[in-house]
């Protein structure tokens, strides 16, 4: 078998796309020149002929097929290919830059335009085209070297990916192999409660989700033979990476009968299993499951299991949330799962000392024990890592060795084939090839860094990690991001108190942030060591030339001087606070050499002059600056590829003028997002030329040419422009349009028959005090106050409605199943009181809408149509000055299977004396926050799923029951509990 150890940093789609463009562009530019006859046509023909073999090698390497014996020749060839592909990308990008520049100069007059076009034609022999010829020759040399790898190509052609990689399924059994089990009491009780819960349905599924090595299998083993369970049949199946229906059913039978079974057909296997379990209550563990896509295979596995007795249970362990989602859909129930987090600190330390000091008395090694405590903390409660590193340390009880282990990462030290490194890497190997570079890219963030979806999506797109296909890149990048979330590479971090000021009120949109587990971050660093680098240092050092993405934080000006030679660099995050008069000059010089840079983020409070060299970075897609530079340079208007411009001041005392932003910025036709603090887009003349702009934050009309209402195709101040025809518009805020009376056909465009608002994700309606009607066609009498017929907004995910006093109904929301966030405030007519007992729970009236966040300022809005029919809501926040005496118990139970967070702010609880016992039935609830609950004297039993309980402002009696030693302390001590009798001033927003 021919294998090589290669971690390739260029992807098949990128290689294929660039080679295709190169062949077409070079043919177009050179076909009439002497170079064409002198050999270039033959070189391009050879490149076209051998392109499939190049793609085969790249795809095999990025998929992980080429690993094993070291092959330096192939590794070197792939490195040269990456350099050639990126150089070709740069050259082609510069040719497109010329075209964009020519377009931007169109308005300079006929004579000037003629000169420009002549100059472009005359430039056919310039440096860019010379480099284009050199790139073609480089590829020709690479093609000539393909013959060296004929044996590898032959092997790949004759074997499947699984055969080439040599995938070996992991095997586990039902018996817990340890003599002690540390921690997990809360998790065990939650699952035992589910196992013992009487069910009328035949099958119920519960998923344990967590990263590799966190202890999912151990927890399942510990539960499998728990004495408190009552099942007639118990089966254990380790599924692993290969999901073959017949093989899985045969494993069930083998576990049940203790006899190996062989069947020629799937039907025979299904029939025997059906016979064995019909009418019997069974408990099945499906361990280490990876299949999150092939639902038809799942259906075939589940088919015979449906003949079991009511109350049968399937406990599933997986690394991926997407598996839990898929299985829940297959069995037709709301997903029930538990995200298995790290061990608690004390349990983590006990487990570490068991392995690190096995056979020894830890009390006799005080110094090692102190170092060991620090090592254990670094392992972050991952049992497999604790066992692996602890066992390794046990062989060498020496202070110097333990200190070195403390300094190095767990994955760097683990050399075993079945240790934590292999377990963690397995998740990476099963990623689709196009997602692997996106994951590796995240290593430029520091550990525990919290990042937003849009930030990372912007970075991926800017540096060229997202393919260009029939989907918009933003959509595809968001899909990539969601896959990494579902496969548990990214962990969602939602903050209940993320305040967003709108008007005079504060709302909590539950903006989600994400992070990576330390071990996954460490893996990304190892895999990307030749392409990504993150440095926090004040000591000068040499940066490898191979680095493509760099994050640098330093306070030493000498460190910055090493940047200028990084010709392949595509990302630079530069953070420097250096009090040196020469800082701006050094940064300017350093940036000159970054000829490939696509994403530049500069943060410094000691830079006061705009680095002129930024204007020469023609490939730049994103420029983000946080400095004390008072104004942008006109040179920025030469960055015709720029898509994102973010310009922030550290010193917010600046009073910007219209001169702060150069007038020619309107020539940046590819600009999608423009963030300019403290002033609006009306400081830019002819803003309508920014035809790619997605986010229109604010626009103030002036009666001057270039600044007037025609820039947005306004019809009149009482009407809206045709926003529906903007194909990339993602966020639209209508705020304080005091004269706006009608939202009509013109809002969508000239016709309602076409696709309107194809990209709109966020719509905010704020202070529309004169708004009387919302009409979608000329005959319609539907109007706001009825919000009817909103089916046009097919991509809408977030809707804010505030200070719309005439709004009487939310009818029409049911036409937006894509909606995820709904925020309503200061709309008094909406809170139409309806009796609780009139709520119709019948399935036909339930909304398919699954809100991630419902944020309202009046509790009675939960009784309004259509909110009363919600049943898949994840987070609810009720705030404002309106109090209730009873919680809307029926509505909460209706959403009980999905509700994860319940936050009651403001005066909502001022009159509430008791909370309902039914709170215990909210089995998914993880976060409960109560404010101003001064009449509440005790808490009922709360669901076992609860992790965080926060009470700000409560009675003395309740605070006493919950404090250490209080009557209820032991009941709630396992929670992340915070209780304050007084609501601090920082919490008061009403």
Residue range 742-751, pLDDT digits in tens:
676 667 765 4
Please report the pLDDT score of residue 985 as a whole number. 32
Query: Which pLDDT band, with edges at 50, 70 and 90, does 789 fall under?
Result: very low
Instruction: Give the per-residue pLDDT at 702.
Output: 59
Query: Of the residues 135, 153, 171, which one is the last residue of a structural domain?
Result: 153
Assess whether 189 and 323 both reside in one domain.
Answer: yes
- Decide: helix, strand or coil at residue 824: strand
Residue 749 has what pLDDT?
Answer: 63
Is the pLDDT at 236 greater than 90, yes or no? yes
Work out the pLDDT band at 506, boundaries 50, 70, 90: very low
For residues 966 and 518, give the distance between their C-alpha atoms in angstroms, rounded to a whole number: 37
**What integer pLDDT is reported at residue 552 of this predicted model?**
93
Q: Which of 111-115, 226-230, 562-566 has the lowest mean pLDDT?
A: 111-115
pLDDT at 498: 39
In the predicted structure, residue 323 carries a pLDDT above the cut 80 = yes
Contact between 962 and 979 (Cβ < 8 Å): yes
Give the helix/strand (H/E) hosting 85. Answer: helix 72-104
Residue 98, classified by CB atoms within 10 Å of its CB into exposed (0-12), middle (13-18) or buried (19+), is middle
Domain count, the chain: 3
> What average pLDDT does this structure show over 189-213?
86
Pair 566, 545: CB distance under 8 Å: yes
265 versus 416: the higher-pLDDT residue is: 265
Minimum mean pLDDT range among 439-448, 458-467, 855-864, 970-979: 970-979
| 6, 90: one domain | yes
**Is the bond into 81 cis (omega within 30 degrees of 0)?**
no
Q: Which residue has the higher pLDDT, 881 or 572?
A: 572
**pLDDT over 70 (residue 494):** no
- Closest by Cα among 338, 327, 217, 229 to 283: 229
Q: Which residues of 547-584 are buried (b: 16+ CB within 10 A; e: fewer)?
A: bbbbbbbbeebebbeebeebebbbbbbbebebeeeebb
Same domain for 128 and 33? yes
Asked whether residue 672 carries a pLDDT value surpassing 80, the answer given is yes
pLDDT recorded at residue 540: 84
More confident residue, 300 or 691: 300
Q: Which residue has the tokens 């043919």?
A: 27
Calculate mean pLDDT across residues 953-962: 88
Domain match, 4 and 144 both: yes
Q: Which of 224-233, 240-249, 422-431 has the lowest mean pLDDT?
A: 422-431
CB contact at 8 A, 554 and 580: no
Q: What CATH number is attached to the domain comprising 242?
A: 3.40.50.300
- Comparing 243 with 510, the larger pLDDT belongs to 243
User: Which residues neighbour 489 within 8 Å (Cβ) at sequence distance 6 or greater?
Assistant: 427, 431, 439, 516, 520
pLDDT at 127: 76
Find, among 490, 517, 522, 518, the residue nearest to 411 by Cα: 522
State what percent of residues in the chain have pLDDT above 90: 17
Pair 855, 510: CB distance under 8 Å: yes
Final residue in a domain of this structure, among 299, 321, 339 = 339
> For residue 641, what pLDDT is reported?
94
- Residue 289 tokens read as 């499951």
| Pairing status of strand 491-494 against strand 549-554 | unpaired
In our burial notation (b when 16+ CB lie closer than 10 A, e otherwise), range 614-644 reads: bbebbbbbbbbbbbebbebeebbbbbbbbbb
Which of 10-14, 715-719, 813-817, 868-872 has the weakest average pLDDT? Answer: 715-719
* pLDDT of res. 64: 58
Lowest-confidence segment of 798-807, 864-873, 974-983 by average pLDDT: 974-983
pLDDT at 444 over 90: yes
Contacts of 187 (CB under 8 A, 6+ apart): 219, 338, 340
CB half-sphere exposure, 124, CA atoms < 13 A: 14
- Phi, psi angle pair for 553, to nearest 5°: -125, 120
**Angle 447-450-452 from CA coordinates, rounded to 5°:** 140
The pLDDT assigned to 873 comes to 92
Q: Between 285 and 626, where is the model more confident?
A: 285
The reply to whether 334 and 207 lie within a common domain is yes
Residue 704 placed within a domain = no
- Under the banding of pLDDT at 50, 70 and 90, the label for residue 249 is very high
- pLDDT for position 212: 82
Residue 934 has which token pair?
């001064």
Asked if residue 680 belongs to a domain, the reply is no
Pairing state of beta strands 853-856 and 337-339?
Answer: unpaired
Last residue of a domain, one of 312, 339, 366: 339
Instruction: Please check the confidence at residue 708 and state whether its pLDDT lies above 50.
Output: yes
Residues 904 and 983 in one domain: yes
Give the H/E segment covering residue 280: none
- In this prediction, residues 613-642 reach a mean pLDDT of 89
Average pLDDT over residues 226-238: 90
The pLDDT value recorded for residue 495 is 46
Q: What is the mean pLDDT of the chain?
A: 78
Q: Is position 417 within any domain?
A: no
pLDDT above 60: residue 106: yes
The share of the chain scoring above pLDDT 70, in percent, equals: 76
Residue 124 lies in a domain: yes
User: In this structure, are 86 and 45 located in the same domain?
Assistant: yes
β-pair type (500-502, 505-507): antiparallel
pLDDT at 470: 59
Least confident of 74-88, 836-850, 861-875: 836-850
Q: What is the pLDDT of residue 119?
A: 46
Question: What is the average pLDDT across 552-557?
Answer: 90
The total number of residues written for the chain in this structure:
990
Query: How does residue 551 score in pLDDT terms, banded at 50, 70 and 90?
Result: very high
- Residue 374 scores a pLDDT above 50: yes
**pLDDT value of position 434:** 87
Confidence class for position 619, pLDDT limits 50, 70, 90? very high
In the predicted structure, residue 601 carries a pLDDT above the cut 50: yes
Nearest-Å Rg of the Cα atoms of the chain is 31
Is it the case that residue 693 has pLDDT exceeding 90? Answer: no
Domain that holds residue 273: 185-339
Please determine, for residue 79, whether its predicted confidence score (pLDDT) is greater than 50: yes
Do 193 and 103 lie in a common domain? no
- Whether residues 201 and 128 share a domain: the answer is no
Question: Do the beta carbons of residue 888 and residue 836 sit within 8 Å?
Answer: yes
pLDDT at 123: 45
Predicted local distance difference test score (pLDDT) of residue 564: 81
Q: What is the pLDDT of residue 377?
A: 84
Q: How many CB atoms lie within 10 A of CB 484?
A: 20
Q: Quick: pLDDT tens for 14-49.
A: 788 888 888 887 777 666 666 555 677 788 888 888
- Whether the per-residue pLDDT at 55 is higher than 90: the answer is no
CA distance 953 to 931: 6
The mean pLDDT value for 607-624 works out to 90
- Alpha helices, DSSP H, located in 578-727: 583-592
Average pLDDT of the segment spanning 239-249 = 88
In a domain, 508, yes or no: no
229 within domain boundaries = yes
**142 and 200 share one domain:** no
Task: Decide if pLDDT at 620 tops 90.
Answer: yes
Own/partner pairs, 613-621, CB within 8 angstroms, 24+ separation:
613/588, 613/589, 614/639, 615/639, 616/592, 617/591, 618/93, 618/94, 618/97, 619/90, 619/93, 619/94, 619/97, 619/595, 621/461, 621/462, 621/463
Backbone angle region of 525, left / alpha / beta, with phi > 0 → left and psi within -120 to 50 → alpha: alpha
Question: pLDDT-based confidence at 459, cuts 50/70/90?
Answer: very high
Choose from 19-33, 89-103, 143-157, 879-893 the range with maximum mean pLDDT.
89-103
pLDDT at 379 over 60: yes
- Element containing residue 632 per DSSP (H, E): none
Is residue 690 in a domain?
no
Look at residue 780 and give its three-state secondary structure: coil
Q: Read off the tokens for 539.
A: 């000591």
Residue 491 in this model has a pLDDT that exceeds 70: yes
Residues 8 and 132 in one domain: yes
- Sequence-separated (6 or more) residues with CB below 8 Å from residue 723: 729, 732, 747, 748, 757, 760
Give backbone dihedrals phi and psi of 271, rounded to 5 degrees, phi first.
-65, -45
- Range name among 684-693, 695-704, 739-748, 762-771 with the lowest pLDDT average: 695-704
The dihedral formed by the CA atoms of 960, 964, 965 and 967, expressed in degrees to the nearest 10? 50
Per-residue confidence (pLDDT) for residue 844, from 0 to 100: 44
Q: Are residues 207 and 127 in the same domain?
A: no
Which pLDDT score is estimated for 68?
A: 47
* 3-state secondary structure labels for all residues of 677-713: CCCCHHHCCCHHHCCCCCEECCCCCCCCCCCCHHHHC
Q: How confident is the model at residue 12 (pLDDT cuts 50, 70, 90)?
A: confident
Range 177-184, long-range pairs (CB < 8 A, 24+ positions) = 177/221, 178/218, 180/354, 181/218, 181/222, 182/343, 182/347, 182/348, 182/350, 182/351, 182/383, 183/343, 183/344, 183/347, 183/348, 184/215, 184/219, 184/222, 184/343, 184/347
Residue linked to tokens 């907004």: 793
- Start-to-end C-alpha separation, the chain: 71
User: Which 3 state secondary structure label does DSSP give 213?
Assistant: coil
- Average pLDDT on 582-599 reads 90
Q: Could you read off the pLDDT of 930-941 as tens digits, one per residue?
A: 988 888 888 988
Tell me the mean pLDDT in the region 606-617: 87
**Which structure tokens are listed for 27?**
């043919």
Say if 241 falls within a structural domain.
yes
Q: How confident is the model at residue 598 (pLDDT cuts 50, 70, 90)?
A: very high
């Amino acid at each position: 078998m021919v294998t090589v150890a290669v971690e390739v940093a260029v992807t098949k789609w990128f290689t294929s796309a660039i080679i295709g463009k190169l062949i077409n562009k070079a043919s177009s530019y050179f076909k009439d020149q002497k170079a064409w006859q002198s050999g270039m046509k033959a070189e391009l023909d050879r490149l076209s002929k051998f392109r499939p073999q190049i793609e085969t090698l790249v795809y095999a390497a990025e998929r992980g097929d080429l690993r094993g014996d070291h092959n330096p020749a192939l590794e070197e060839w792939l490195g040269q290919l990456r350099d050639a592909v990126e150089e070709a990308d740069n050259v082609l990008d510069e040719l497109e830059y010329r075209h964009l520049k020519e377009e931007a100069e169109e308005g300079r007059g006929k004579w000037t335009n003629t000169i420009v076009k002549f100059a472009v034609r005359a430039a056919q022999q310039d440096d860019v085209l010379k480099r284009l010829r050199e790139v073609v020759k480089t590829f020709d040399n690479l093609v000539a070297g393909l013959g060296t790898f004929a044996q590898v190509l032959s092997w790949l052609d004759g074997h499947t990916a699984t055969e080439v990689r040599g995938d070996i399924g992991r095997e586990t059994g039902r018996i817990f192999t340890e003599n002690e089990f540390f921690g997990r009491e809360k998790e065990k009780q939650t699952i035992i409660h589910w196992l013992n819960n009487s069910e009328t349905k035949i099958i119920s599924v519960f998923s344990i989700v967590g990263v590799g090595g966190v202890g999912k299998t151990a927890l399942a083993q510990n539960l499998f033979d728990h004495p408190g369970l009552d099942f007639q049949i118990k089966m254990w199946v380790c599924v692993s990476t290969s999901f073959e229906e017949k093989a899985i059913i045969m494993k069930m039978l083998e576990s049940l009968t203790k006899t190996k079974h062989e069947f020629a057909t799937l039907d025979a296997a299904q029939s025997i299993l059906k016979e064995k379990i019909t009418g019997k209550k069974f408990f099945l563990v499906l361990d280490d499951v990876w299949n999150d896509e092939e639902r038809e295979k799942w259906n075939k596995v589940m088919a015979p299991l449906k003949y079991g007795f009511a109350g049968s249970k399937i406990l599933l362990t997986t690394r991926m949330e997407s598996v839990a989602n898929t299985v829940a859909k297959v069995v037709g129930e709301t997903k029930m799962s538990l995200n298995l987090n790290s061990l608690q600190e004390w349990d983590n330390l006990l487990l570490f000392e068991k392995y690190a000091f096995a056979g020894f008395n830890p009390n006799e090694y005080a110094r090692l024990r102190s170092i060991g405590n620090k090592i254990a903390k670094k392992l972050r409660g991952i049992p497999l890592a604790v066992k692996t590193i602890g066992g390794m340390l046990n062989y060498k009880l020496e202070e110097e060795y333990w200190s070195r282990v403390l300094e190095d990462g767990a994955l760097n030290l683990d050399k075993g084939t079945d240790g934590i490194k292999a377990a963690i890497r397995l998740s990476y190997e099963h990623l689709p090839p196009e997602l692997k570079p996106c994951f590796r890219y995240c290593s430029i963030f520091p550990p525990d860094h919290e990042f937003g979806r849009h930030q990372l999506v912007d970075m991926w797109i800017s540096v060229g990690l997202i393919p260009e296909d029939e989907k918009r890149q933003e959509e595809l990048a968001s899909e990539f991001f969601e896959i990494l979330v579902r496969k548990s590479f990214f962990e969602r971090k939602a903050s209940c108190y993320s305040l967003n000021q709108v008007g005079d009120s504060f709302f909590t949109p539950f903006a989600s942030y994400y992070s990576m587990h330390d071990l996954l971050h460490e893996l990304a660093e190892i895999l990307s060591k030749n392409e990504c680098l993150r440095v926090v240092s004040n000591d000068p050092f040499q940066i490898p030339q191979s680095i493509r993405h760099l994050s640098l934080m330093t306070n030493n000006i000498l460190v910055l001087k090493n940047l200028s030679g990084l010709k392949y660099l595509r990302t630079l995050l530069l953070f420097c606070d250096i009090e040196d008069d020469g800082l701006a000059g050094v940064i300017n010089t350093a940036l000159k050499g970054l000829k490939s840079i696509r994403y530049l983020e500069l943060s410094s409070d000691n830079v006061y002059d705009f680095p002129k060299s930024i204007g020469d970075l023609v490939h730049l897609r994103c420029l983000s600056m946080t400095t004390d530079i008072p104004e942008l340079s006109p040179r920025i208007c030469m960055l015709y590829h720029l898509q994102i411009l973010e310009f922030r001041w550290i010193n917010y005392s600046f009073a910007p003028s219209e001169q702060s932003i150069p007038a020619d910025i309107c020539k940046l036709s590819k600009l999608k997002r423009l963030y300019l603090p403290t002033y609006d887009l009306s400081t830019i003349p002819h803003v309508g030329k920014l035809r790619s702009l997605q986010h229109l934050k604010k626009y103030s009309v002036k009666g001057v040419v270039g600044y007037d209402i025609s820039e947005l195709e306004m019809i009149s101040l009482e009407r809206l422009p045709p926003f529906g025809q903007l194909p990339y518009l993602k966020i639209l805020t209508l705020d304080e349009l005091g004269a706006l009376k009608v939202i009509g056909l013109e809002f969508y465009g000239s016709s309602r028959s076409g696709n309107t608002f194809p990209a709109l994700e966020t719509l905010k309606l704020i202070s529309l005090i004169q708004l009387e009607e919302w009409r979608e066609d000329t005959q319609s009498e539907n109007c706001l106050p009825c919000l009817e017929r909103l089916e046009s907004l097919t991509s809408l995910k977030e809707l804010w409605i505030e200070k719309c006093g005439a709004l009487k109904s939310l009818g029409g929301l049911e036409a937006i199943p894509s909606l995820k966030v709904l925020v309503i405030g200061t709309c008094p007519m909406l809170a139409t009181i309806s009796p609780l007992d009139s709520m119709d729970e019948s399935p036909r009236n339930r909304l398919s809408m699954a809100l991630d966040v419902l944020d309202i300022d009046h509790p009675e809005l939960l009784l309004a149509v259509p909110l009363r029919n919600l049943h898949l809501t994840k987070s609810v926040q009720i705030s404002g000055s309106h109090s209730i005496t009873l919680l809307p118990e029926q509505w909460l139970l209706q959403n009980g299977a999905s509700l994860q967070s319940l936050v009651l702010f403001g005066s909502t609880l001022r009159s509430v004396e008791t909370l309902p016992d039914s709170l215990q039935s909210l089995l998914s609830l993880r976060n409960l926050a109560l404010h101003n609950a001064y009449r509440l004297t005790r808490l009922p039993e709360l669901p076992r799923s609860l992790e965080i309980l926060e009470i700000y402002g409560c009675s003395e009696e309740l605070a006493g029951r919950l404090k250490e030693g209080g009557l209820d302390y032991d009941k709630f001590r396992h929670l992340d509990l915070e209780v304050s009798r007084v609501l601090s001033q920082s919490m008061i927003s009403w």
